[in-house]
């Protein structure tokens, strides 16, 4: 591996950790900072190689468990960090409908995994939706509310994916030449 790739990986890993720390520091912009942190892996992929991108993800994930709270490190490691690599492989298929289905499958699998991990850390995941639905009830039918919430989460993921795509396109058009 060339020194240029190692230096790029180190800089991108450091930027990832800065964005993760900012997501903890400014709680209101968590999704924005997590998206910017997840953008570092595709930059490594575009500027260097798949190997460098994977090393940025591994390095950032390991250091995140040391430098930021565990829940932020888990969210980055299990979803935001790895998603840049997953997105790369899925979008190589070049079939939009299949890409969306595979991305949603990945998102839902990761959502279930994160929910189980939170449950084993002491969060009562099984009662959280019920309490949330009772507190923020749109209708008096709890299961219908749960469907609306589930649809909203899926929609939020697709907005995140589209935002990451826009960042990648912007980078390819204007910043890659530097």
- pLDDT, residue 142, reads 57
Ranges 39-43, 108-112, 145-149, 160-164: which has the least confidence: 145-149
Q: pLDDT tens digits, residue range 134-148? A: 555 555 555 555 666
92 is written with which tokens? 């190589």
The residue-averaged pLDDT of 63-70 equals 93
Q: What is the domain count for the chain? A: 1
Q: Which one has a higher pLDDT value, 147 or 54?
A: 54
Q: What is the pLDDT of residues 99-113, one digit of tens each?
A: 999 999 999 899 888
pLDDT at 21: 94
Stronger pLDDT, 130 or 3, i.e. the higher one:
3
pTM for this predicted structure: 0.82
d(CA 67, CA 141): 43
In which band, very low, low, confident or very high, does the pLDDT at 152 lie, cut at 50, 70 and 90? confident
Q: Which of 39-43, 54-58, 69-73, 115-119 has the lowest mean pLDDT?
A: 115-119
For the record, the structure tokens of 38 come out as: 């997840």
Q: Which domain holds residue 130?
A: 3-175
Judge whether residue 92 has pLDDT over 70: yes
Does residue 8 contact residue 44 with C-beta atoms inside 8 Å?
Answer: yes
Rounded to whole angstroms, how far apart are CA atoms 124 and 105?
24
């Amino acid at each position: 591996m060339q020194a240029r790739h190692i230096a790029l990986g180190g800089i991108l890993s450091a930027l990832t950790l800065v964005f993760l720390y900012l997501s903890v520091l400014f709680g209101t912009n968590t999704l924005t900072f997590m998206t910017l942190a997840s953008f570092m892996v595709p930059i490594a992929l575009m500027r260097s190689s798949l190997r460098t991108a994977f090393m940025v993800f591994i390095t950032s994930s390991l250091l995140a468990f040391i430098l930021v709270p565990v829940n932020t490190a888990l969210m980055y490691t299990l979803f935001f960090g790895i998603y840049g690599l997953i997105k790369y492989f899925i979008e190589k298929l070049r079939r939009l409908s299949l890409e969306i289905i595979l991305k949603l499958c990945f998102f839902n699998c990761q959502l279930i995994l994160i929910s189980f991990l939170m449950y084993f850390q002491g969060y009562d995941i099984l009662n959280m939706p019920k309490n949330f639905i009772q507190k923020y009830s749109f209708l008096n039918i709890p299961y219908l509310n749960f469907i609306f919430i589930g649809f909203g989460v899926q929609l939020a993921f697709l907005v995140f994916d589209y935002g990451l795509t826009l960042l990648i396109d912007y980078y390819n058009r204007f910043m890659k030449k530097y």
